[in-house]
């Protein structure tokens, strides 16, 4: 079994579908879970469905940040490339769900404390999905005590959220607590607050919800805040949504005692008046999901826990506490389950209008499921690939591949994308829906073993580049590898060892597309002989601190990109590179100056610094006796003061020409001189790493 069913939303098609997709493979710090039950949280998930079915105009209104990004791409890259980017993003499926439980099927190599067959509660959007199988970070999975039945364990995430909310509200025994909104989250916060010894008041206009809260928690219930006492509550929890200009913050402030707390649990815009908050010196707090660790890549992706003495209640410790309270009988989600459906009917459930009386819907996956046995090698019985035919397997199907490489591959009639795989299988599944006959597979190993694939394109995260490329070489495949080819010397050694032991004549090409660009070709033909001076100004745009490309475990942003610019200068000199040095201005930000010396006397400099949006991202200036050239942001090339090439509405950084060069090399079996050899690429990256770490780089020409 290599496929499973998952509930996915497709923003571009504006629909929700229960569809087949590859079973994901757990990372080193993750678990593979066979799902037994998941919980539909109606407020959050019906909102997601509504957003999915919204028109493009409404989506744009909801996400002005993405609209601004699209406009920047439009200005820099032109209409066609931007539309491709937008279509690629909208066509990518998104999972549904965030609270579930199941049994451990497999563990990553670094995972400890879990065993196959063990029951676990799992948490997190994009991890605890409505899917038959899920891969979940070790810190978002928690063993289930024997005393807790599966149906209750599926609610662990929601109770962890409630516990974190109560900690934000400093709620303890004897506190007077008001809860605005008695939907599923409000009911769970109320139940948890009562277990903590608080005196609970519910404010909810829906009579059925009020009655349920009263039976379940013995809370005082009011249809409106006007019926509850003012200036009375230590903490007020807003568990109802509030968008635009709404009165929820002011209402909560009226209910609070002097110096009380307002805790926003629901999707609440902060729009209170100053007077209401100022007079009582109200503290306003926000709940970020299930506790400390949420949205921290170190915690969620890399399995790094916070020390107990510094962070008492992390996501996982809140989950443990919730399960312990359920085992002790002090928390019981049974009264909150208004319906139970089988997983095969989940899409029909969301197709109906939301019923305001519904609270939790429990999804039952107890249908026959075979374990994900080692998948068969695809199309192993097909005859060998005819000469000149290019059948591609893609590893890593994210935004770069879909937006930058796929459009150019699709234009070539001799290139067939046969199969693809990605980290969680979803982007691979989206890609496989377009090329006719393409398959979404579960692992890179399947691509390496496939006889009907002769070429591998690798566009994964950078820490996996060297290992995947070495495996592809060992499988005797032609390889297109995105830069950087490795992020450390261990990866380079792995590539070097494989290159030395491989007897194949397969093509190996790094995605240094700038050397293949039309403007680069024109420059190369125009440059005079002899020594030249190259000044390459690269002005990078800031990225969020938590963006994966900034992670030092991925090499950091500078190491991931700098070979692009050094490689271009090297290709234009057509001379041996003698030395590279690096001067870091701010290594954390990536700001650096790189110098190169070549055998013909040429000197190169790359100034790689943070820049503003008003200046060109890239500007290359070349000087020699009686010669000047200027290449500005891949839109204009000037030689000796005259504009010789210009593109007004787009950039051409050479992706199309690079794809053509790779395809022709694979088709003919001959590597053109413009493609550096693998030893040359290894040598260049080794010297970049040495320079970055201030080691001696005078180690011979390349």
- Number of structural domains in the chain: 4
Q: What is the pLDDT of residue 432?
A: 74
Q: Which whole number is the average pLDDT over 368-377? A: 46
Q: Which of 405, 443, 446, 440 is nearest to 426 (CA)?
A: 440
**Residue 354: inside a domain, yes or no?**
yes
Q: What is the pLDDT of residue 465?
A: 96
Domain boundaries, position 179: 162-286
Q: Are residues 447 and 324 in the same domain?
A: no
702: pLDDT strictly greater than 50: no
696: pLDDT strictly greater than 80: no
**Residue 641: inside a domain, yes or no?**
yes
Rounded CA separation 72/410 (Å): 25
Q: Are residues 202 and 278 in the same domain?
A: yes
- Which CATH number is 399's domain given? 3.40.50.720
Q: What is the pLDDT of residue 383?
A: 55
Tokens representing 189 are: 């916060």
Q: Which of 404, 401, 382, 400 is nearest to 391 (CA)?
A: 382
**Residue 700: inside a domain, yes or no?**
no
Q: What is the pLDDT of residue 76?
A: 62
Q: Which whole number is the average pLDDT over 492-506? A: 88
Rounded CA separation 527/684 (Å): 23
- Mark out the alpha helices in 283-328 (DSSP H runs): 297-300, 315-327
* More confident: 315 or 84: 315
Tokens representing 585 are: 């201005």
- Which CATH number is 519's domain given? 3.30.360.10
Least-confidence region, from 81-90, 261-270, 414-423: 81-90
Rounded CA separation 279/282 (Å): 8
* More confident: 248 or 402: 248
Rounded CA separation 430/432 (Å): 5
Q: Which of 133, 153, 135 is nearest to 143 (CA)?
A: 153
Band (170; pLDDT cuts 50, 70, 90): very high
**Residue 359: inside a domain, yes or no?**
yes
Q: Are residues 541 and 671 in the same domain?
A: yes
Q: Are residues 419 and 502 in the same domain?
A: yes
Q: Which whole number is the average pLDDT over 169-198? A: 96
Q: What is the pLDDT of residue 380?
A: 42
266: pLDDT strictly greater than 90: no
Q: Which of 348, 364, 380 is the last residue of a domain?
A: 364
Q: What is the pLDDT of residue 276?
A: 87
Q: Which whole number is the average pLDDT over 121-149? A: 96
Q: Which of 462, 495, 510 is the last residue of a domain?
A: 510
697: pLDDT strictly greater than 70: no
Q: What is the pLDDT of residue 359?
A: 93
Is the bond leading into 397 cis (omega within 30 degrees of zero)? no
Percent of the chain topping pLDDT 90: 68
Q: For residue range 145-166, list pLDDT tens digits in order.
A: 999 999 999 999 999 999 999 9
53: pLDDT strictly greater than 50: yes
Least-confidence region, from 114-118, 446-450, 680-684: 446-450
Contact predicate 108/26, CB 8 Å: yes
Q: What is the pLDDT of residue 353?
A: 83
Average pLDDT, the chain: 89
220: pLDDT strictly greater than 90: yes
382: pLDDT strictly greater than 60: no
Q: What is the pLDDT of residue 74?
A: 60
Q: What is the pLDDT of residue 689?
A: 96
Q: What is the pLDDT of residue 57?
A: 58
Element containing residue 135 per DSSP (H, E): strand 133-137
12: pLDDT strictly greater than 90: no
**Residue 118: inside a domain, yes or no?**
yes
Q: What is the pLDDT of residue 386?
A: 62
Q: For residue range 73-87, list pLDDT tens digits in order.
A: 566 656 665 656 656
**Residue 380: inside a domain, yes or no?**
no
Q: Are residues 337 and 249 in the same domain?
A: no
Q: Are residues 520 and 660 in the same domain?
A: yes
Q: Are residues 534 and 643 in the same domain?
A: yes
Element containing residue 562 per DSSP (H, E): helix 556-573
427: pLDDT strictly greater than 80: no
Strands 337-342 and 360-364: parallel
Q: Are residues 307 and 252 in the same domain?
A: no
Give, in degrees to the nearest 5, the angle at Cα 298 between 297 and 302: 95
Q: Are residues 133 and 23 in the same domain?
A: yes
Burial letters 238-252, b for 16+ CB under 10 A, else e: bbbbbeeebebbbbb
Least-confidence region, from 164-168, 228-232, 358-362, 434-438: 434-438
Q: Which whole number is the average pLDDT over 268-280? A: 89
Q: What is the pLDDT of residue 61?
A: 52
Across 384-463, where does the E strand assignment appear? 390-395, 415-421, 439-440, 455-458
Strands 455-458 and 390-395: parallel
**Residue 375: inside a domain, yes or no?**
no
Q: Are residues 399 and 451 in the same domain?
A: yes
**Residue 369: inside a domain, yes or no?**
no
Radius of gyration, CA atoms only, the chain: 29
Q: Are residues 276 and 252 in the same domain?
A: yes
Q: What is the pLDDT of residue 501?
A: 85
- Which CATH number is 90's domain given? 3.90.180.10
Q: Which of 286, 309, 324 is the last residue of a domain?
A: 286
Q: Which whole number is the average pLDDT over 503-515? A: 91
368: pLDDT strictly greater than 60: no
Give, in degrees to the nearest 5, the angle at Cα 170 between 167 and 173: 105
Q: Are residues 198 and 266 in the same domain?
A: yes
| Cα-based distances in Å from 557 to 400, 402, 450, 589 | 15, 21, 34, 8
* More confident: 431 or 259: 259
Rounded CA separation 371/659 (Å): 39
């Amino acid at each position: 079994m290599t496929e499973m069913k998952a509930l996915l939303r497709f923003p571009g098609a504006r629909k929700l579908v229960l569809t087949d997709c590859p079973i994901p493979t757990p990372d080193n710090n993750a678990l593979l879970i066979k799902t037994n039950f998941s919980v539909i949280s109606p407020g959050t998930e019906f909102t997601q469905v509504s957003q999915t079915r919204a028109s493009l105009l409404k989506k744009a209104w909801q996400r002005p940040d993405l609209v601004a990004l699209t406009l920047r791409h439009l200005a820099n890259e032109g209409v066609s490339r931007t539309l491709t980017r937008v279509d690629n993003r909208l066509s990518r499926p998104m999972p549904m769900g965030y609270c579930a439980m199941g049994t451990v099927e497999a563990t990553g190599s670094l995972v400890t404390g879990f065993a196959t067959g063990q029951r676990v509660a799992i948490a997190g959007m994009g991890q605890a999905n409505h899917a038959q199988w899920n891969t979940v970070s070790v810190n978002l999975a928690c063993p289930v005590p024997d005393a807790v039945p599966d149906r209750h364990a599926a609610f662990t995430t929601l109770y962890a959220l409630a516990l974190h909310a109560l900690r934000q509200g400093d709620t303890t025994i004897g506190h007077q607590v008001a809860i605005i909104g008695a939907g599923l989250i409000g009911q769970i916060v109320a139940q948890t607050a009562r277990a903590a010894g608080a005196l609970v008041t519910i404010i909810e206009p829906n009579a059925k919800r009020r009655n349920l809260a009263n039976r379940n928690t013995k809370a005082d219930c009011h249809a409106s805040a006007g019926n509850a006492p003012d200036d009375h509550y230590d903490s007020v929890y807003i568990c109802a949504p509030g968008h635009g200009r709404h009165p929820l913050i002011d209402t909560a402030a009226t209910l609070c005692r002097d110096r009380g707390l307002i805790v926003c649990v629901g999707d609440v815009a902060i729009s209170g008046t100053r007077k209401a908050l100022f007079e009582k010196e109200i503290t306003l707090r926000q709940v970020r999901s299930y506790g400390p660790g949420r949205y921290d890549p170190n915690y969620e992706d890399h399995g790094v826990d916070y020390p107990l003495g510094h962070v008492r209640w992390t996501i996982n410790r809140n989950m443990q506490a919730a399960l312990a309270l359920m085992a002790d009988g002090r928390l019981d989600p049974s009264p909150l389950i208004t319906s139970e459906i089988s997983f095969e009917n989940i899409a029909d459930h969301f197709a109906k209008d939301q019923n305001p009386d519904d609270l939790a819907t429990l999804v039952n996956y107890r249908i026959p499921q075979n374990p994900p046995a080692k998948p068969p090698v695809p199309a192993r019985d097909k005859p060998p690939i005819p000469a000149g035919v290019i059948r591609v397997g893609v590893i890593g199907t994210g935004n770069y591949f879909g937006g930058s490489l796929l459009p150019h591959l699709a234009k070539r009639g001799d290139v067939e994308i046969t199969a693809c795989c990605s980290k969680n299988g979803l982007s691979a599944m989206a890609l496989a829906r377009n090329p006719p006959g393409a398959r979404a597979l579960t692992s890179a190993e399947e691509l390496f073993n496939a006889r009907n694939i002769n070429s591998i394109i690798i566009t994964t995260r950078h820490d996996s580049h060297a290992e995947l490329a070495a495996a592809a070489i060992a499988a005797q495949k032609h390889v297109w590898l995105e830069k950087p080819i490795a992020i450390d010397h261990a990866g380079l050694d792995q590539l070097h060892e494989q290159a030395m032991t491989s007897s194949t004549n397969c093509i190996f090409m790094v995605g240094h597309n700038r050397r293949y660009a039309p403007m680069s070709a024109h420059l190369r033909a125009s440059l005079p002989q002899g020594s030249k001076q190259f000044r390459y100004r690269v002005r990078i745009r800031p990225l969020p601190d938590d963006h994966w490309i900034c992670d030092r475990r991925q090499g950091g942003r500078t190491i991931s990109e700098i070979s692009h610019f050094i490689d271009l200068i090297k290709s234009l000199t057509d001379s041996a590179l003698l030395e590279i040095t690096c001067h870091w201005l701010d290594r954390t930000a990536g700001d650096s100056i790189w110098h190169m010396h070549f055998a013909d006397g040429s000197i190169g400099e790359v100034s790689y610094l943070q820049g503003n949006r008003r200046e060109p991202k890239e500007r290359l200036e070349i000087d020699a006796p009686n010669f000047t050239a200027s290449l500005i942001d891949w839109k204009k090339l000037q030689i000796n003061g005259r504009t010789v090439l210009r593109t007004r509405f787009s950039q051409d950084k050479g992706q199309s020409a690079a794809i053509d060069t790779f395809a022709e090399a694979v088709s003919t079996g001959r590597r053109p001189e413009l493609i550096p050899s693998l030893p040359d690429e290894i040598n260049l990256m080794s010297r970049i790493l040495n320079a970055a770490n201030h080691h001696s780089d005078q180690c011979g020409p390349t």
